Amino acid sequence: PPGKKVLIVYAHQEPKSLNGSLKRVAVEELSKQGCSVTVSDLYAMQFEPRATRNDIVGSLHNPEEFNYGAETWEAYKRGSLSSDVIEEQKKVQEADLLIFQFPLYWFSMPAIMKGWMDRVLVQGFAHEFPNCYDSGLLKNKLALFSFTTGGTKEMYAKGSISGDIRYLLWPMQHGIMHFCGVQVLAPHICFAPEYVSEEERKEMLIAWAERLKTLWKENPINCSPEWYFK
């Protein structure tokens, strides 16, 4: 609906890839609906994935012994995180919906996107114990993981060689997004695009565009272990 803000965090090196096309389709479809869409193209930005001392501008809270979590928490409160982190936090803060678009690497997200999670979702901004899970600081936001796999749908079935695809979503959807209070929409998965015809890849893009048309009517998944492990 008009006025909704969407942040697409996108991790692929090649704009002509299926991931690049899925990102483009999302920008087009959501913009058409009157949403305002921002893209963080992590490779193009040369986003720094490493969590280091450089993420804190100025002096440390405890210069004797470096504790990244404690230092970024203090820096967040003082407004002295590095500018690239602050920039991403602003985008997250403004967004109603976060879409993560990426190819699955080793049963997980690419390092550059994991680094985005590590550096952007700091304590004080995204969570602050006991304010996590349903009381996480980013509640009232939605997230959706849209990704491609190397393996086929059959390989990611329960009892199959790779196990249920939902097992892999537990750390990403539950351990990161739900931990920060974000509600999670059902994932959008394009299985093994490299091994299908050009025609089938086009159909994948059409299916994504179709889903986006009614996305705002969807209910979030049940944020409990049952969804993942039942």
Whether the pTM exceeds 0.95: the reply is: yes
pLDDT tens figures, 187-209: 999 999 999 999 999 999 999 99
Find the angle CA(188)-CA(154)-CA(112) to the nearest 5 degrees. Answer: 45
**Residues whose CB falls within 8 Å of the CB of residue 8, separated by 6 or more in sequence, listed in order:** 23, 26, 27, 37, 38, 39, 40, 98, 99, 100, 101
**What is the C-alpha separation between 224 and 69, in angstroms, rounded?**
26
Residue 230's pLDDT band, with cuts at 50, 70 and 90, is confident
Residues 20-67: tens digit of each pLDDT: 999 999 999 999 999 999 999 999 999 999 999 999 999 999 999 999
pLDDT tops 90 at residue 154: yes
Does the structure show a pLDDT above 90 at 2? no
Spell out the residues 6+ positions from residue 33 whose beta carbon is closer than 8 angstroms to its own: 1, 2, 4, 212, 213
Query: Does the pLDDT of residue 87 top 90, yes or no?
Result: yes
Q: Identify the pLDDT of residue 1.
A: 81
Closest alpha carbon to 1 in 220, 216, 218: 216
What is the C-alpha separation between 134 and 177, in angstroms, rounded?
10
Structural tokens at position 189? 């998965």
Please report, for the chain, the start and end positions of each structural domain, with discontinuous segments joined by +. 5-229
The average confidence (pLDDT) of the chain is 97
> Which pLDDT does position 36 carry in this prediction?
97
- Give me the CATH code for the 5-229 domain, please: 3.40.50.360
Does 210 have pLDDT greater than 90? yes
The CB-side HSE value for 85 (13 A sphere, CA atoms) comes to 27
Across 135-163, average pLDDT: 96
Q: Alpha-carbon distance 205 to 121, whole Å?
A: 30
